[in-house]
Chain A
Amino acid sequence: MSWTLPVSVIVSIALGLAAPGLRRLFGAGLGRVLALWPLALFVYFLGLAPGIAEGEVWRASFRWFTVPAGWLPGGAGPFDVHFGFALDGLAFLFVLLITGVGALVMFYASSYLGKDENHGAFFAYLMLFVGAMLGVVLADNLFVMYLFWEMTSITSFLLIGFWSHRPESRAGALKALLVTAAGGLAFLAGAALILVAAGSVDLETLLAGGEGLRSSPLYPAMLVLVLLGAFTKSAQAPFHLWLPNAMEAPTPVSAYLHSAAMVKAGIYLIARMAPILGGTALWVLLVAGAGIVSLVLGAYLALRQTDLKAILAFSTISQLGLIIALFGWGTTAAVAAAVLHVLNHSVFKAALFMMVGIVDHETGTRDIRALRGLGAFMPVTAAVAMVAALALAGVPPLNGFVSKEMFFAASLETGPVLAGVPGGGVLAVLFPALAVLGSIFTFIYSLRISHGVFFGQGRPPAAAGGHGRPHDPPAGMWLPPVVLAALAVVLGVAPGLAEGSIVAPAARGVLGPVDVPHLALWHGFNAPLLMSAAVVALGLVAYARGPALDAVIGRLPVAPNMNALYDGFLDGLQKTADFVEKRLMTGFTRDYIAYMLGFLLVLLGVTAASVGPFSLQTDWPPQGSLEWAELLLAVLMAAVALSVPFFRSRVAAVVSMGAVGTGLVIMWTLFRAPDLALTTLVVEPVTLLLFLLVFVYLPRLTRDVFPKTARWVNVALAAGGGLATTLLLLGVRGLRADRTVADWYIENSLPLAHGANVVNVILVDFRGFDTMFEITVLALAGLGVYILSNLRFKGGPK
């Protein structure tokens, strides 16, 4: 039991909730104080490295709730779901990123935010986000993971929309939330299918039962759903649409969420699921396919951008695509490269975002066309930019080079993986080719954001305020990116430093206990090196001929993108909703009732059709005798009823209905049901009277009040209703009650109720309550009539 795991999550959340209050204590220094918490966590977790490297897994688990027996198909017994945390090699890597980069970003943000901005809210959201991210990567079952997963979506919404006075910020925040929360629900659906198929959501159990899951008939559905969750979170094509808009966030937020944290949650999910759901042809196609497409598409789209942050956003899509492609291939070398690149990408991308924040802060612009030659005024920032961008470009001796080499190597060795995949032969060639193409694009935009901005030819922009030249920011802002840039160099020169303690355990978290390839800057002359050389050579040429390249790209069509679909979807939803509401919810009770009766008839028809043909008692003349009087009366009643729709006056219509009622009274008498006849005889006039009392106040029936279409709808409904009733009556005509209640009352009146008059006994004893309620109802009805007759309506006739 390691209580530090839940504590790290809970304290982060608690600090987040307390942040607005702490603001009063620490003022604008709040961020620096709060940064101490992730820093402390980072140091603490780093101390666990030796144990983790040995393969230790730290766990803390509490029984959360019990799923009772019978929730799963096959009648499985009750089972417990734990609120559990676990720290293994894979989680370890992400925990270090979250806490390490988190501390730096908070430190940086403290200087970045103006004094009068709402530090309390900002750091509250940020701390909550840290807690949520830790929860995602430490969760040891899918439920707990989903809980924190959605929490990251919500806190990232608040962070992206932090500058809420800007409409673009709000739109960006909403888009990020809609896409990722919808993806989250898909993930939940996938988790539920996994639960059904495997009988558990514990990752440990699932790891053991991966085989069964992969052969389950639900496998394709669960894989697609889980991947939907991961791809939306990691902004993979074609769900990358939200990330560029999310750049409306304050830059520290982007530096954290869109380099090391939020988008990495999707990667983490894929890495976690790789040993459980991975390795199949479908997995390779979907995961590697989406990854490589995102790599190329993201890098290509980055070339079309002129805004520094937009370039970085598309770069993130592209780099995450690279990592996901590696997990898609899933070979030992690929996974090792993937986890290493997770680390490397976080390091250099966070540094780049921080660099952009500084440039934006100092010059007031992020447009690379306006930013030239800044290196002379901002040497520290320029150094950070060059190191981080070259790491991104994959230039030795920086960390990006090491993982990119491994990526190229892995792309060349996909043969065995693709053996069972349709079109595998083509893909085996396509993958390395696309890898090189994407890397060339990456190389070009990396130079644009570093060399172009800091050393490009042109007039450097003025400082943000308009006075003098831009200059390096205070230490609070340059120190964090410098730390990261230094790390990029260290990890490049001596990748072995991270190998035993971080990368190998992380890879083993995905692959199981295997030997992870040795990390090194220099692998000798081989194919990957050749590919790298090609990337650098072609990239340099293309960069040097920037204007020509832009001209070519300018002529290419804009890549297909989901923004139109997103907008169209929201717009279409809005329009459909509008249409449906206008059409259905007209506000007229008449229409409401028409819809209801119409649907009732449809239900009757469909249900009747579903039982197939059934017999109707249509023999004529019917059994027993048919008196001429009865027939005549029936025809008369039908005729009167049919005449009702043709009256222009409501009173005439109601009087006709009264005539039908009177016919019914005669009918009851003919069938020897005098009590029924009497009741009807009493009720009919009262109803009529009520109608007449009310109708005086209603407008005359004109076309405006009662349009023709409504009339025809009514005719159709009446006909349908009549038909249904007729069929029903013909169906039940054969039905005879085989017993009567009368005998029971006659037998039991005396012994049970001590009364000889059966009718009296029924009224006051057996059905005593009925009698009482009937009296009550009559009294109420009388009251109603009295009140109605005394009402004076405004605007009614005098």
Chain B
Amino acid sequence: MPVDGSLRLILPEIIVAGTGLLALTAGLVSRRSRLPGFVSMLGLAAAAYFLLAEVAGETTQIWSGTVLVDGFSTLFKAVFLGIAALIALVSFDYIERNGLPAGEFHLLVLLATVGMMFMAGSLNLITIYIGLECLALASYALTGMLRGSAKSTEASLKYILIGAISSGVILFGMSLVFGVAGSVHLAEINAALAGGTPMLPVLLAGMVFLVAGLGVKMAAVPFHMWAPDVYHGAPAPVAAFLITASEAAAFAAALRIFLVGLPAIQEHWTTVFVALAVITMTFGNVTAIVQTNMRRMLAYSAVAQAGYVMVGLAVASERAVSAMIYYLIAYAFATIGAFAVVILLGRYHPAEDIADYRGLGRRAPLLALTLTVFMLSFIGIPPTAGFFGKFYLFQSAVAAGMPWLALIMVLNSMVSIPYYWGVVQTMYLREGETDAPLPAPAGVRWTAAIGLAATLILGLFPDQVVQLVSAVQVVPALLSGGL
């Protein structure tokens, strides 16, 4: 064990992993399904406390460069912790209602969170890969947790099969990059490639494999194939977790790998990401239009949103990175909030059809208003967080001399209005079969309220967060001198 105090720097990760075991134990010893959830939230709060009080502000590498702590990783870790806590909050009722094993559920969510934290917190390809696998394995299990549901099982199996291929592809890509650059540390890879390489074709093949493999995790079309089925079939809180945190982690890893490790061949991977971004957002938006099921619509919408975020990778400037992070944060709150409403409606209408939202404006006026705000945020209409997210991405594309890419984003946003707004129309202009009010469990109410507050605050007072994400550097300061 290192005695130099370096362990302190991954204390948040250790706390989260330990909390997972505690939650599992709590699930075993207590009949009350709520206890593991509370344990999980307490642990996450403690981890967040240590992250912000002890780790924030540090920029250092430990353990032969396998773990890195810097502003980028701290911000992403904070986001992951926040998302995990919201997921724990929203799933109390869901777990109870569907008879899920609460201990296992929270353990898996927390282990996935640990995986994500390592994905964002390292410049070492192997560490990133292990973090990714840790996340992926937990996700497969989480997806299949609804044992009685064929949809859930099928989704899990598809996810495993495609996920396994993607892991292989990523690993192959990493090995090719290692073969050319002679290192698994991104900063060293960068240095090795700085002067050019005679093995360019091999390096590019490695790059393509990395794009494709990470593309699976980011749900980039056509590597998104698992996503709609999984987001639709998985337990609702798990779907929200995967759409927000897992995707954000994939983007964090991609940002590090490409911006820190492979700037030497930037022109090549940005071209690929331009294509992926355009295909992804267009495909997601177009297919979302025909969905009549709320979950499925949100699933395709998630694909489209991933396409918007990918614009940041296509632009690959410091500002684009800030814009991506802002967008991911904004999107996470709106998505989890929207899923809170979905979970509530699922209580009364298990089919989760959009038609079930008829008359919601009357049955649950506040929740309907909340969901409206989330839909506006998805479209990118003020005064919501989504507006600024989209605007910053848009601006970064224009500033980098790609106004046409920005215009494609706008066109896509226009295409997305019908299906997002369709939900609002259904809620307010269609008569429901009943006017019976919908009592909402506290967890769902609070999640929706937090999502709403964050979406509006980020939309009306974006200043703090903009400053925060603008200060983030993908290439940590301690390396920029040595690169």
Chain A interfacial positions (CB closer than 8 Å to B): 63-68, 70-73, 143, 146-147, 150-151, 154, 157-158, 161, 164-165, 169-170, 173-174, 177-178, 181-182, 184-186, 188-189, 192-193, 195-196, 218, 221, 570, 573-574, 576-578, 580-581, 584-585, 587, 589, 592-593, 595-596, 598-600, 603-604, 607-608, 610-611, 614, 724, 728, 731-732, 735, 737-738
Q: Nearest CB to that of A221 among chain B residues?
A: B403
Q: Tell me whether B57 is interfacial, beta carbon within 8 Å.
A: no
Do A72 and B399 touch across chains, with their CB atoms under 8 A apart? Answer: yes
Given contacts A71-B319, A186-B410, A592-B226, contact A573 B429 (CB under 8 A): no
Contact B461 A593 (CB under 8 A): no
Does A192 lie within 8 Å of B398, measured CB to CB? Answer: yes
Alpha-carbon distance A161/B424, docked complex (angstroms): 12
Task: Contacts A192-B395, A193-B398, A587-B229 given; indicate if A70 touches B318 (C-beta within 8 A).
Answer: yes
B391 near A192 with CB under 8 A, answer yes
* Assembly CA distance A738 to B180 (angstroms): 11
Please choose the segment from B14-22, B37-45, B248-256, B415-423 that sits at the chain A interface, where 4 or more of its residues have CB less than 8 A away. B415-423
Residues 196-225 of chain B: 1 if any A CB is under 8 Å from the residue's CB, otherwise 0? 000111101101110110001000001101
Beyond A182-B417, A573-B415, A596-B222, whether A614 also contacts B286 by CB under 8 A is: no
Q: Which residues of B contact A604 (CB under 8 A)?
A: 205, 208
Stretch of B85-93, B96-104, B156-164, B439-447 at the chain-chain interface = B156-164
A68–B392 Cα distance when bound, in Å, is 11
With A66-B466, A68-B470, A608-B201 known as contacts, the answer to whether A164 contacts B429 (CB < 8 A) is yes
Query: CA A65 – CA B383 in complex, angstroms?
Result: 13
Of all A-B residue pairs in the complex, the 5 with the closest CB atoms, nearest first, are: A592-B225, A164-B429, A68-B470, A65-B463, A147-B382
For B204, give its contact among A157, A576, A608, A735 (CB under 8 Å). A608
Residues on A with beta carbons closer than 8 Å to the beta carbon of B410: 185-186, 188-189
A64 and B391 CA atoms in complex are apart in Å by: 15
Instruction: Point out the residues of chain A lying under 8 angstroms from B208, CB to CB.
Output: 600, 603-604, 607
Taking a contact as CB atoms under 8 Å apart, the answer to whether B290 and A577 are in contact is: yes
Given A182-B414, A592-B162, list of 8 further CB < 8 A pairs?
A151-B382, A178-B417, A181-B414, A192-B406, A193-B403, A577-B288, A600-B212, A724-B205
Is B381 at the interface (CB under 8 A from chain A)?
A: yes
Complex partner residue of B381 from A72, A181, A192, A581, CB under 8 angstroms: A181
- Contact with B289, one of A68, A184, A573 (Cβ below 8 angstroms): A573
| Cα A185 to Cα B226 with chains together (Å) | 31
Q: Does B394 contact A (CB under 8 A)?
A: yes
The reply to whether A174 and B421 contact each other, CB–CB distance below 8 Å, is: yes
Pick from B225, B226, B290, B382: contact of A146, CB under 8 Å: B382
Chain A CB within 8 A of B476 CB: no
Chain B's closest residue to A76 (CB) is: B399
Question: Are B211 and A603 neighbours in the complex by a CB distance under 8 Å?
Answer: yes
CB of B320 to closest CB in A, whole Å: 10
Instruction: Flag B267-290 by CB within 8 Å of A: 1 or 0 each.
Output: 010011000000000010011111
B396: CB under 8 A from chain A?
yes
Of residues 379 through 410 on chain B, the ones whose CB sits less than 8 Å from some CB of chain A are: 379-383, 387, 391-392, 394-396, 398-401, 403, 406-407, 410
Our pick among A65, A598, A737 for the contact of B461 (Cβ within 8 Å) is A65
Verify A731–B201 contact, CB threshold 8 A.
yes
Total contacting residues, chain B, CB less than 8 A: 77
Contact (Cβ within 8 A) B200 A614: yes
Residues in chain B near residue A181, CB distance under 8 A: 379, 381, 414, 417, 421
Q: Shortest Cβ distance from B151 into chain A, in angstroms?
A: 11
For chain B, residues 166 to 186, give those with C-beta under 8 angstroms from any C-beta of chain A.
Answer: 169, 176, 179-180, 182
Given contacts A188-B410, A189-B410, contact A173 B429 (CB under 8 A): yes
| Residues of chain A lying within 8 A (CB to CB) of residue B209 | 600
A585 cross-chain contacts in B, Cβ below 8 A: 225, 228-229, 287
Residues of B contacting A169 in the complex (Cβ-Cβ under 8 angstroms):
429
B228/A577 in contact, CB under 8 A: no
B413: CB under 8 A from chain A? Answer: yes
Is B434 interfacial (CB 8 A cutoff)? no
Interface of B is mostly: helix
Question: How far does the alpha carbon of A196 sit from the alpha carbon of B414 in the complex, in Å?
Answer: 22
Q: Does B165 contact A (CB under 8 A)?
A: yes
User: Can you list 24 residue pairs at the A/B interface with Cβ under 8 Å?
Assistant: A64-B463, A73-B399, A147-B387, A161-B425, A177-B417, A181-B379, A193-B403, A196-B403, A570-B418, A573-B286, A573-B415, A577-B287, A577-B288, A577-B289, A580-B283, A584-B283, A589-B157, A592-B225, A592-B226, A595-B222, A603-B208, A604-B208, A607-B207, A732-B199
Asked if residues A189 and B205 are in contact (CB atoms below 8 Å), the reply is no
Confirm or deny: B428 has a beta carbon within 8 angstroms of a beta carbon on chain A: yes
Known: A164-B428, A580-B287, A607-B208. A66 touches B216 (CB 8 A): no
For A63, list chain B residues within 8 Å (CB): 463
State whether B222 touches A611 (Cβ < 8 A): no
Complex CA–CA separation, A221 to B410 (angstroms):
13
Task: Tell whether B480 is near chain A: CB-to-CB under 8 Å.
Answer: no
| Cβ contacts B455-483/A at 8 Å (1 or 0 each) | 00000011100110010000000000000
Instruction: Return chain A residues, CB-CB under 8 Å to B283.
Output: 580, 584
B381/A150 in contact, CB under 8 A = yes
Could you tell me the distance between the alpha carbons of A184 and B222 in the complex, rounded to whole angstroms?
A: 31
Complex Cα distance A150/B376, Å? 10
Does B431 reach chain A (CB closer than 8 Å)? yes
Q: Which of A66, A173, A593, A732 is B467 in contact with, Cβ under 8 Å?
A: A66
Is the C-beta of B430 less than 8 angstroms from some C-beta in chain A? yes
- Give the CA-CA distance A154 to B425 in the complex, in Å: 11
Chain A residues near B421 (CB, 8 Å)?
Answer: 157, 174, 177-178, 181
With the chains together, A584 CA to B162 CA distance in Å?
15
Which residues does chain A contribute within 8 Å of B467, judged by CB atoms? 66, 68
Least CB distance, B252 to chain A, in whole angstroms:
21
User: Which residues of the other chain, A, contact B201 by a CB distance below 8 angstroms?
Assistant: 608, 611, 614, 728, 731
What is the distance, in angstroms, from B137's C-beta to the closest C-beta of chain A? 9
**Distance A573 CA – B283 CA, assembled complex (angstroms):** 11
Selected from B161, B376, B431, B463, the residue in CB contact (under 8 A) with A589 is: B161
Q: Is there contact, CB below 8 Å, between A580 and B205?
A: no
Residue of B nearest to A161 (CB): B429
**Residue in chain A with minimal CB distance to B372:** A154
Q: Binary interface profile of B, 115-154, with partner A (CB < 8 Å = 1, else 0)?
A: 0000000000000000000000000000000000000000
Considering the complex, which residues of chain B in the window 219-257 have a beta carbon less than 8 Å from any beta carbon of chain A?
222-223, 225-226, 228-229
Residues on A with C-beta less than 8 A from B169 are 600
Expressed in whole angstroms, the Cα–Cα distance for A165 and B415 within the complex equals 26
CA distance A747 to B404 in the complex (A): 57
| Contact A596 to B162, CB < 8 A, known contacts A73-B399, A570-B418, A573-B415 | yes
Residues on B with C-beta less than 8 A from A570 are 418
Are A593 and B161 within 8 A (Cβ)? yes
With both beta carbons as reference points, the residue of chain B lying nearest to A83 in the complex is identified as B460
In the bound complex, residues from chain A placing their C-beta under 8 Å from that of B394 are 189, 192
Assembly CA distance A628 to B211 (angstroms): 39
Complex: chain B residue closest to A573, CB-CB: B289
Q: Are B287 and A161 neighbours in the complex by a CB distance under 8 Å?
A: no
User: Given A580-B286, A589-B162, are A596 and B199 also a contact pair (CB < 8 Å)?
Assistant: no
A162 CB to closest chain B CB (Å) equals 9
A71 touches B417 (CB 8 A): no
Q: Contact: A593 with B463, CB < 8 Å? A: no
Contacts of A577 in B (CB 8 A): 286-290
Interface string of B26-56 (1 = CB under 8 A from A): 0000000000000000000000000000000
The CA of A189 and the CA of B413, in the complex, are separated in Å by 11
A589 to B165, CA, bound (A): 12
Q: List chain B residues, Cβ under 8 A from A64.
A: 461, 463
Question: In the bound complex, what is the Cα–Cα distance between A189 and B207 (angstroms)?
Answer: 33
Q: Which residue of B lies closest to A595 (CB)?
A: B222
Q: Complex formed: what's the CA distance from A68 to B319 in Å?
A: 9
Choose among A72, A578, A728, A737 the residue with the greatest number of B CB atoms under 10 Å from its CB. Answer: A728
Q: Which residue of B161, B202, B415 contacts A728 across the interface (Cβ within 8 Å)?
A: B202
Chain A residues near B200: list those with CB within 8 A. 611, 614
